[in-house]
Amino acid sequence: MSIQSGDVIGGRYRLIEPIAKGGQAEVWIARQDPFEQRVALKILIPKCGVLGVQRMHREAQVLAGLNHPSIVRLIDFGVLSGGSCFIAMEFIEGCRMKVLLRARRHSPAALLRLCEQVCAGLEAAHHLGVIHRDVKLSNVLIHRRSGVREQARVVDFGIARLMEGDPGITSDGVVLGSPRFMAPEQIRGEALDARIDIYAVGVLMFCCLAGRYPYNGRTAHEIMHSHLHGALPRLHVSASLPDPEGLVAVVRQAMARSPEDRFETMGALRAALQRHLPASSASGHRRRTAQG
């Protein structure tokens, strides 16, 4: 199925322009007729077959059960002819967190406040038994509107899994995720719980503070090997933050190689992050640097 601007999907969504494309789906800005409401329309690439449809249907089911300001809101799901389907979600005015970091216009405190919002959304998902399994910079959208505080929204629950009573689309032993954010047990294909999302948020915070990924490599295999065996690079936290040593400790605990050494819950990670963030503008704090 070849799609282009002006096409109507599902009888009610008129495509405006593409905004993202991956191996399994394209995401378009679309207008929902007859309401003139803009939505983000995720359309499955037909070659993904039955498994692709099952995964997208699962994503829609997961989103339908989640209602939180830090999680993108589901509007609709539909099956198309030719082995495809779509998910309609609220359209987020703004950019992906990856773009925000690249612009280097936000203070460390502002970036960590966004990470705190990510924690809140994932905490709500975990309370409902949902593990995201693919938390990364490109799966966090930053909602930006004039006069409104920026809001982080977690997206792409395509490989999410329920913690109990759900065999899922995949089984243990199958490695899914993004190498730069994958927890060691995820790389090894072991049984997973919510602590893999905690590890990924730790990587997210490392990126926000350091401006780079903790582990790099020429290939996905090299990156995953570093997650399994490499020492966590030293993290330099400076400028306006009042407690850099504390933040280094939070990141290191979130990224602990053993799940037992991480925060027990996303709520515990969020609370620890809050304790070490300034309550307001940090201009009055003495400049310090910590290394981890």
Look at the block and give the residue holding tokens 């981890």: 292
Residues in the chain: 292
Look at the block and give the residue holding tokens 């309401």: 35
Catalytic residue among 134, 193, 197, 243: 134
Distance CA 181, CA 264 (A): 18
Look at the block and give the residue holding tokens 């987020």: 92
Q: What single-letter amino acid sits at 271?
A: A
Cβ atoms of 17 and 92 closer than 8 Å: no
Q: Could you tell me the maximum CA-CA distance found in the chain, to the nearest angstrom?
A: 62
Distance CA 255, CA 228 (A): 11
Contacts of 177 (CB under 8 A, 6+ apart): 133, 134, 159, 186, 196
| Residue among 270, 237, 238, 239 nearest 253 (CA) | 270
156 is catalytic: no
Instruction: Return the active site residues.
Output: 134
